[in-house]
C-alpha cells in the first residue's frame, strides 16, 4: 500500500463516517453522472451498515478519497463488493488497494465486484485483477413525452394504491412468488420493505396494486420511484421516474397484466410532470427485455458483475 494512504476497516459506520461517504458519493455522482452504489448497498451505508457489512475507508492526508462496501451474506455466490474513488485521485492505484484489502478478508479470495456504468477504469481494474464478467444489467430509458399505448387490463382486475398497514405481508408473499428465481428481489423480508418505505422518495400513490375482483388478492403490482425529487439525495440530473419493480403472480402471467400495469405506472410518472423514465433489467431476462423494448425503452447504460476467477 502507498504509505501516504491510510486504510481503516470497520463493521459499523459512525455518523461522521456516513457523512464523509455521502460527500464522496456526491462528488463521484457529479463527475460521472451515475451513483457508484446500488440501492440496497446505499441504504445500508446511509444507516451505518448492518451486522454483515465491512467498510473500507481510504484516506489521504485525513480526507476520504476512496470507499468500498463488502457484503458477505451470500454463502453460495460469495461475498460481493462495490467501491468509489474520488475523481481527483483516480489512476493512482486506490481502487486496486481497496480490492486487494477486501480480497485479504474473504475465504479462498472469492469475490464478486459490481461496476456501475461501462467505465474504462473499472473494466481495466477487473481484468488486471483476474475478474471475469458474469452478469450484466442494462439501464433502459424512454421519454415520457412520447405517446403511451392504452393499457388493457385483463377482466376481473381492479387497481388501487398500496396500503402499508393492510398490504405489507401479502405484497411480500407475491413478491416472493413473482421473483422466485431472482437473486436479489425474491428474498425480501419485512425489514427490506420497511427500509424502502422509510426513504424520502417512497409514495403509496406510486405503488400500484392490481387486485383480483374474485379473491381480493394481489395479482400484480408496479412500484414506481422518482429520483431527484425534493428532499432526496443530490443528483446530477433532473427528476427522473423509474419502473422500480413490476411483478405478476405466476397464475396471472401470460394475461397481459404485466404490460398493462407497466403502462399505468408510466402514466403515473408522466402525470407527475416527469420527462423520462428508467429501469434496470438483466440481459438474460428475454421476456422483460422484449416487453420494455416494445414500450419504447432503449439501452442507456450497463452495470456489470465481475467474479474473480480463482482457477
More confident residue, 109 or 12: 12
CATH of the domain at 14: 3.40.630.30
Residues 118 and 28 in one domain: yes
- 209: which strand partners? 160, 221
Q: Can you tell me the mean pLDDT for 244-256?
A: 96
Q: Are residues 23 and 83 in the same domain?
A: yes
Query: Into how many domains does the chain fold?
Result: 2
pLDDT digits (tens, 9 = 90+) for 25-45: 999 999 988 889 988 899 889
pLDDT exceeds cutoff 50 at 206: yes
| Pairing, β 207-212 against β 218-227 | antiparallel
Mapped onto helix, strand or coil, the DSSP state of residue 178 is: helix
Q: With pLDDT > 90 as the criterion, what percentage of the chain qualifies?
A: 74
The answer to whether residue 175 is domain-embedded is yes
Q: What is the structure's pLDDT at 39?
A: 84
Residue 308 confidence (pLDDT): 86
C-alpha R_g of the chain: 20
Predicted confidence band of residue 202 (pLDDT cuts 50, 70, 90): very high
Residue 230 has pLDDT above 60, yes or no: no
At 76, is the secondary structure helix, strand, or coil?
coil
In a domain, 306, yes or no: no
Q: Residue 233 has what pLDDT?
A: 42
pLDDT in tens, 136-150: 999 999 999 999 999
> Tell me, what's the pLDDT at 229?
57
Contacts within 8 Å (CB) and 24+ apart, 247-252: 247/174, 247/175, 247/178, 247/179, 247/220, 247/221, 248/178, 248/219, 248/220, 249/174, 249/177, 249/178, 249/217, 249/218, 249/219, 249/220, 250/177, 250/178, 251/219, 252/154, 252/210, 252/212, 252/219, 252/220
Instruction: Give the per-residue pLDDT at 260.
Output: 98
Does residue 74 share a domain with residue 196?
A: no
Domain containing 11: what range? 5-129
Across the range 261-277, mean pLDDT stands at 97
Point out the domain boundary residue: 76, 101, 129: 129
CA 102 to chain centre: 22
Query: What would the pLDDT profile of 273-306 be if each residue is shown by its tens digit?
Result: 999 999 999 999 999 999 999 999 999 989 999 9
Task: Give the residue among 163, 196, 175, 145 at the shortest CA–CA distance from 40.
Answer: 196
145 and 281 in a common domain = yes
Cβ neighbours around 11 below 10 Å, total: 13
pLDDT of residue 245: 95
Q: What pLDDT score was predicted for residue 197?
A: 94
Residues 148 and 49 in one domain: no
Q: 196 and 226 in one domain?
A: yes
pLDDT at position 231: 38
Q: Note the pLDDT tens digit of each residue in 161-194.
A: 999 999 999 999 999 999 988 757 768 899 989 9
Lowest mean pLDDT: which of 224-228, 236-240, 252-256, 263-267?
Answer: 236-240
Residue 85 grid cell: 474513488
Amino acid at each position: 500500500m502507498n504509505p501516504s494512504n491510510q486504510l481503516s476497516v470497520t463493521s459499523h459506520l459512525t455518523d461522521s463516517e456516513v457523512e464523509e461517504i455521502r460527500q464522496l458519493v456526491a462528488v463521484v455522482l457529479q463527475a460521472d453522472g451515475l451513483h457508484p452504489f446500488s440501492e440496497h448497498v446505499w441504504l445500508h451505508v446511509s444507516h451505518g451498515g448492518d451486522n454483515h457489512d465491512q467498510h473500507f475507508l481510504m484516506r489521504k492526508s485525513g480526507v476520504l478519497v476512496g470507499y468500498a462496501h463488502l457484503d458477505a451474506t451470500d454463502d453460495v455466490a460469495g461475498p460481493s463488493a462495490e467501491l468509489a474513488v474520488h475523481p481527483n485521485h483516480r489512476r493512482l492505484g486506490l481502487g486496486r488497494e481497496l480490492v486487494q484489502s477486501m480480497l485479504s478478508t474473504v475465504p479462498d479470495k472469492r469475490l464478486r465486484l459490481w461496476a456501475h456504468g461501462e467505465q474504462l477504469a473499472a473494466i481495466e481494474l477487473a481484468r488486471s485483477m483476474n475478474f471475469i464478467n458474469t452478469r450484466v444489467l442494462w439501464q433502459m430509458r424512454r421519454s415520457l413525452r412520447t405517446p403511451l399505448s392504452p393499457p388493457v387490463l385483463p377482466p376481473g382486475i381492479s387497481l388501487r394504491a398500496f396500503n402499508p398497514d393492510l398490504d405489507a405481508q401479502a405484497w411480500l408473499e407475491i413478491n416472493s412468488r413473482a421473483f422466485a428465481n431472482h437473486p436479489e428481489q425474491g428474498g425480501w423480508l419485512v425489514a427490506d420493505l420497511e427500509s424502502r418505505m422509510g426513504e424520502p422518495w417512497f409514495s403509496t400513490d406510486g405503488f400500484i396494486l392490481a387486485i383480483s375482483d374474485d379473491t381480493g388478492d394481489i395479482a400484480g403490482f408496479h412500484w414506481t420511484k422518482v429520483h431527484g425529487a425534493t428532499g432526496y439525495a443530490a443528483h446530477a440530473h433532473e427528476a427522473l421516474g423509474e419502473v422500480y419493480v413490476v411483478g405478476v403472480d405466476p397464475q396471472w402471467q401470460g394475461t397481459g397484466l404485466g404490460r398493462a400495469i407497466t403502462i399505468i405506472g408510466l402514466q403515473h410518472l408522466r402525470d407527475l410532470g416527469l420527462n423520462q423514465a428508467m429501469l434496470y433489467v438483466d440481459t438474460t431476462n428475454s421476456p422483460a427485455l422484449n416487453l420494455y423494448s416494445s414500450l419504447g425503452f432503449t439501452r442507456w447504460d450497463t452495470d456489470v458483475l465481475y467474479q474473480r476467477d480463482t482457477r
